Amino acid sequence: MTTSSTRSSTFTITNAREIAASVGADLRNLYSKYGDPQPSLIEVFTEELALYLKAGYLEFVQFGFRDGDRWVLKLQYTAVSGGYLRNDTPGNLPSAMAVIGHDFHSYLEQNSEFFALSPEGRAAFKATLPTNRTPGTAPTANRAISTAGTQFSNNGRGVDRTVYLDI
């Protein structure tokens, strides 16, 4: 006797918000340790991330503290899909980093699927976002050590977290 089964699933905004909530927990951890980002901004960032994940347009998003054009502490979340994905617990971030006096900053990069949209399609998607990002370049992390391995996922999509610390 032979049996087979098929499983199909749809990635929903609820799935995306669960992933974004884990990132939000990391950002709240930063706030509790360093005083930034502000809670109202965390809500905006998590909803923006959820919308990018749902649409499939995220390459990566970065949050952290910078000194001019270089990161002092950076959390980078890179979009991943398929394969074996884990859903780790948020947190376990560095403590006692010297970030006082440094600006909190965020940088988001869209993927090729976003840029394959027509200009009208890109504008229509951006109109749904809770914030309007200013175009710019990401700070550098040339002299940094990095720690990877944390993943937040749900229903076949997720983000890999990498923590960069200035040395």
pLDDT tens digits, residue range 121-150?
999 999 999 999 999 888 888 777 888 889
Residue 2 lies in a domain: no
pTM higher than 0.85: yes
Instruction: Express each pLDDT in 44-54 by its tens digit.
Output: 999 999 999 99
Instruction: Express each pLDDT in 18-56 by its tens digit.
Output: 999 999 999 999 999 999 999 999 999 999 999 999 999
Q: Which helix (H) or strand (E) holds 51?
A: helix 39-55
What is the band of 6 on the pLDDT scale with cuts at 50, 70, 90?
very low
Residue 3 lies in a domain: no
Please choose, from the candidates 107, 29, 94, 23, the residue with its C-alpha nearest in 3D space to the C-alpha of residue 63. Answer: 107
Residue 6 lies in a domain: no
Residue 7 lies in a domain: no
Lookup result for tokens 């959390």:
75
Instruction: Express each pLDDT in 71-113 by its tens digit.
Output: 999 999 999 998 889 998 998 888 767 788 899 999 999 999 9
Residue 125's domain spans which residues?
13-166
- What CATH number should be reported for the domain holding residue 67? 3.30.900.10
Residue 59 lies in a domain: yes
**How many domains does the structure of the chain reveal?**
1
Please choose, from the candidates 58, 56, 40, 59, the residue with its C-alpha nearest in 3D space to the C-alpha of residue 130. Answer: 40
How many alpha carbons lie under 13 Å from residue 37 in its C-beta half-sphere?
23
